[in-house]
């Protein structure tokens, strides 16, 4: 067990499935106490029971509900202030901008960006009083490079990156750390749903890149966090693409631009 996690308390938002659940599973293995938070109480309760974790049903895109639920947990004798907060709640609604509805765009921003900001705002005063903590916000490779077919999604995840970078600088004086996880395509129930609505050329492009298991992402993340990185990219392909996007964007454009219509 890593002493960075042992006997600590972690809150995992979006913890009922996918990367959030995988992170919770790895935390439990490290001897960490965990509370899972997610919208669907049926799945959430099943997973929490399996992991012997506490749980709270919550829609993070609702600030009043988030603030109230976090306040209740903070005041409970069982929880207190968490040492770790993982913001894993999110969704992707791929599609070209001309095909996306205004509701699609708003929903991704409400959950991916605003949900992350709402959780951080709700929990931050207690962490400041505690003078310690580590917040991990899940962005995406689509949060550090624009991907065709993901205009609305990339915008919401870029917002997570900007928010996280600013927050990291804002709270460092309180002993609080902030990191951003930028995974590539990861095998999750969410990815299965995304694939149902991706344009054919987007699916074809993604067949060329590595898909990680959620457990691989979680293991890489927890191994990296003790050194307090800002950006955590858990795949070699992703790290290479990030470097190219910064230093040789012309090369990356050869791979990431939308194929011409025939």
User: Is there a catalytic annotation at residue 8?
Assistant: no
Locate the domains of the chain by residue range: 9-256
Do the Cβ atoms of 26 and 215 come closer than 8 Å? yes
Report domain 9-256's class. alpha beta
User: Is there a catalytic annotation at residue 139?
Assistant: yes
Residue closest to 31 by CA, chosen among 67, 7, 64: 7
**pLDDT attached to residue 252:** 67
- Out of 61, 139, 140, 179, the active site residue is 139
- Out of 5, 113, 150, 153, the active site residue is 153
User: Is there a catalytic annotation at residue 150?
Assistant: no
C-alpha 21: how far from its chain's center?
11
**pLDDT attached to residue 189:** 85
**pLDDT attached to residue 205:** 77
Edge-first strand order for the sheet with 176-181 is 54-57, 33-38, 9-13, 84-87, 133-138, 176-181, 231-232
SS (H, E, C) the chain: CCCCCCCCEEEEECCCCHHHHHHHHHHHHCCCEEEEEECCHHHHHHHHHHHCCEEEECCCCCHHHHHHHHHHHHHCCCCCCCCEEEECCCCCCCCCCCCCCHHHHHHHHHHHHHHHHHHHHHHHHHHHHHCCEEEEEECCHHHCCCCCCCHHHHHHHHHHHHHHHHHHHHHHHHCEEEEEECCCCEECHHHHHHHCCCCHHHHHHHCCCCCEEHHHHHHHHHHHHHHCCCEECCCHHHHHHHHHHHHCHHHHHHHHCCCCCC
Please tell me the pTM assigned to this model: 0.94
- The per-residue b/e assignment along 125-145, b for 16 or more CB within 10 angstroms, e otherwise, is ebbbeeeebbbbbbbbbbbbb
The structure tokens listed for 172 are: 């460092």
**pLDDT attached to residue 89:** 97
- Out of 157, 158, 164, 220, the active site residue is 157
Q: pLDDT by residue for the chain (262 residues), tens digit each?
A: 899 999 999 999 999 999 999 999 999 999 999 999 999 999 999 999 999 999 999 999 999 999 999 999 999 867 789 999 999 999 999 999 999 999 999 999 999 999 999 999 999 999 999 999 999 999 999 999 999 899 999 999 999 999 999 999 999 999 999 999 999 999 998 888 888 888 888 877 777 777 899 999 999 999 999 999 999 999 998 898 888 888 777 776 667 777 765 4
């Amino acid at each position: 067990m890593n002493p960075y996690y042992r006997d600590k308390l972690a809150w995992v938002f979006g913890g009922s499935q996918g990367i959030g659940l995988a992170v919770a599973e790895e935390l439990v293995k490290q001897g960490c106490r965990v509370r899972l938070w997610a919208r669907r109480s049926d799945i959430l309760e099943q997973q929490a029971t399996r992991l012997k974790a506490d749980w709270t049903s919550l829609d993070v895109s609702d600030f009043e509900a988030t603030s109230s639920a976090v306040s209740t947990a903070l005041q409970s004798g069982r929880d207190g202030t968490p040492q770790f907060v993982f913001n894993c709640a999110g969704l992707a609604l791929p599609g070209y901008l001309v095909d996306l509805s205004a509701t699609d765009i708003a929903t991704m921003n409400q959950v991916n960006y605003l949900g992350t900001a709402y959780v951080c705002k709700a929990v931050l005063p207690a962490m400041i009083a505690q003078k310690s903590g580590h917040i991990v916000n899940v962005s995406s490779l689509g949060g550090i490079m624009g991907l065709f077919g993901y205009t609305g999604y990339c915008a919401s995840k870029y917002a997570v990156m900007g928010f996280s970078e600013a927050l990291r600088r804002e709270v460092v004086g309180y002993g609080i750390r902030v990191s951003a996880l930028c995974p590539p395509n990861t095998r999750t129930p969410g990815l299965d749903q995304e694939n149902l609505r991706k344009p054919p050329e987007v699916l074809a492009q993604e067949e060329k890149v590595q898909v990680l298991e959620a457990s691989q992402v979680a293991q890489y993340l927890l191994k990296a966090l003790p050194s307090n990185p800002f950006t955590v990219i858990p795949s070699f392909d992703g790290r290479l693409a990030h470097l190219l996007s910064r230093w040789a964007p012309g090369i990356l454009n050869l791979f990431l631009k939308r194929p011409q219509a025939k």
